[in-house]
Amino acid sequence: MAAVRVIRQQSYEAIYTLLKEAMLAKQPVSAIYKEFRRVLCPYVLGRTKGDSLRVLCYQSGGESHSGLGHKGSDENWRCIDIEKLTDVKLTEERWQSPTSRNRPQSCVSKVEFEVTFSNGTGHSGTAP
């Protein structure tokens, strides 16, 4: 079986900027990750200890290798390497949050931008 070759049409920087824009507007993105089209609500954007770009998202739609839990389920959190995202675009979908709001935060070591669940602006951090 031949390997699937991904042709990158967006730079990592462009994807990072688009994810940050989505976070500011609380507007989901549609993207391909591990061969599946997904609808993602990005909550935490930053880097790993090894300095790779990573995003913690709540997957609200699309497909997944592991499947999706029910709407609002904590099972729908996804830790995603930005370098493995392709065809990222803003969607008209509705922003979704898990019911319990318990999110794993071992995904991103160096948080650069974050959507919070507070009653304030809901955003913190700075871009690199």
Instruction: Give the pLDDT of the chain (128 residues) as one tens digit per residue.
Output: 455 545 558 899 999 999 999 999 999 999 999 999 999 999 999 999 999 999 999 999 999 888 888 888 888 999 999 999 999 999 999 999 888 766 667 889 999 999 976 544 444 444 33
**Predicted pLDDT of residue 117:** 65
Q: Which long-range contacts (CB under 8 A, 24 or more apart) does 97-102 make?
A: 97/41, 97/58, 97/72, 98/58, 98/72, 98/73, 98/74, 99/72, 99/73, 99/74, 100/72, 100/74, 102/74
Give the pTM: 0.82
Amino acid found at 53 = L
Q: Residue 123: which of 14, 22, 16, 12 has the closest Cα?
A: 22
Please report where in the chains the tokens 């029910």 appear, as a residue.
70
Burial code (b: 16+ CB inside 10 Å, e: under 16) for 13-35 equals eebbebbbebbeeebbbbbbbee
**Predicted pLDDT of residue 108:** 93
Q: Which residues contact 14 (CB under 8 A, 6 or more apart)?
A: none
Please report where in the chains the tokens 């790779």 appear, as a residue.
52
